[in-house]
């Protein structure tokens, strides 16, 4: 199972983000979810939104982020990157320019956040990029349908909110089995609620292909030895 770690691009600086990406990989990370900080991160919690705001305060020019991401890619040629971006950021950069940047640097997996309709998403798909689909724990039929039709991985909610699990699918294992029974062939990476190595083990036993770990690792950025040890602990369970 893949260990996917979230990296707040540009926080506190772009150069430090590149260094942290290498630290992640050296410690055992398989894939890196690297974001474009959004000027309007309306779906983020206070922690991630605050990091995005600070990054943009230090460097507001998206050209610099693209340069940094290209550097990270060259530094870590064997590491797969997932690009997380808000649609508003793609539009600010320009869709065609964003596509060219991704293709030039081998970034094919995209988490597109906050789309307003399907126009931009379809342009990205038509260009050959792979767009992920998020599926909530209660398996709404529309989200399942989109996942089945998607050309990208499925981002599956790993841990339900109170009252969200259904009698038909009370566990992550039953959710993943259901998606596979429906014909889903793409990888299923699980996140939201994955905070401990024990959570990682639960996802692995449920049949997940990967886990997203975010705030647990981000909060250790100022203590690199502890961060490395925590990555090791997660990796052991993958």
Encode pLDDT of 188-238 as tens digits: 999 999 999 999 999 999 999 999 999 999 999 999 999 999 999 999 999
Asked if omega into 12 is within 30° of 0 (cis), the reply is yes
Q: What is the pLDDT at residue 4? A: 99
Q: What is the pLDDT at residue 191? A: 97
Distant-in-sequence, close-in-space partners of 17: CB < 8 Å, separation ≥ 6:
7, 8, 9, 10, 11, 34, 68, 72
Say what percent of the chain tops pLDDT 70. Answer: 100
171 lies in which domain range?
A: 2-237
Domains held by the chain: number? 1
CATH (domain of 162):
3.20.20.70
> Can you tell me the mean pLDDT for 9-35?
98
> Can you tell me the mean pLDDT for 145-172?
96
> Can you tell me the mean pLDDT for 160-186?
97
Q: What is the pLDDT at residue 152? A: 98
> Can you tell me the mean pLDDT for 100-112?
98
Q: What is the pLDDT at residue 158? A: 98
Q: What is the pLDDT at residue 106? A: 97
Q: What is the pLDDT at residue 26? A: 98
- For tokens 């909110």, what's the residue? 161
- Residue 206 phi, psi (nearest 5): -80, -10
């Amino acid at each position: 199972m893949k260990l996917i770690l979230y990296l707040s691009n540009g926080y506190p600086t772009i150069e430090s983000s590149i260094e942290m990406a290498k630290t992640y990989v050296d410690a055992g990370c398989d894939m890196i979810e690297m974001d474009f900080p959004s000027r309007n991160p309306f779906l983020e919690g206070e922690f991630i939104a605050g990091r995005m705001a600070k990054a943009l305060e230090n460097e507001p020019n998206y050209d610099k982020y693209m340069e940094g991401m290209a550097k990270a890619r060259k530094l870590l040629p064997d590491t797969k990157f997932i690009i997380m971006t808000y649609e508003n950021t793609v539009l600010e950069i320009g869709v065609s320019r964003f596509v060219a940047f991704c293709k030039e640097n081998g970034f094919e997996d995209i988490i597109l956040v906050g789309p307003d309709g399907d126009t931009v998403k379809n342009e990205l798909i038509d260009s050959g990029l792979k767009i992920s689909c998020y599926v909530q724990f209660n398996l709404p039929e529309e989200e399942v349908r989109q996942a089945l039709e998607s050309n990208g991985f499925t981002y599956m909610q790993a841990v339900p909110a109170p009252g969200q699990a259904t009698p038909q699918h009370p566990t992550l294992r039953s959710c993943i089995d259901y998606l596979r029974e429906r014909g889903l062939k793409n990888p299923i990476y699980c996140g939201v609620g994955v905070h401990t190595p024990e959570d990682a083990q639960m996802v692995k036993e449920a049949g997940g292909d990967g886990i997203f770990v975010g705030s647990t690792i981000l909060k250790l950025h100022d203590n690199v030895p502890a961060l490395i040890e925590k990555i090791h602990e997660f990796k052991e369970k993958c």
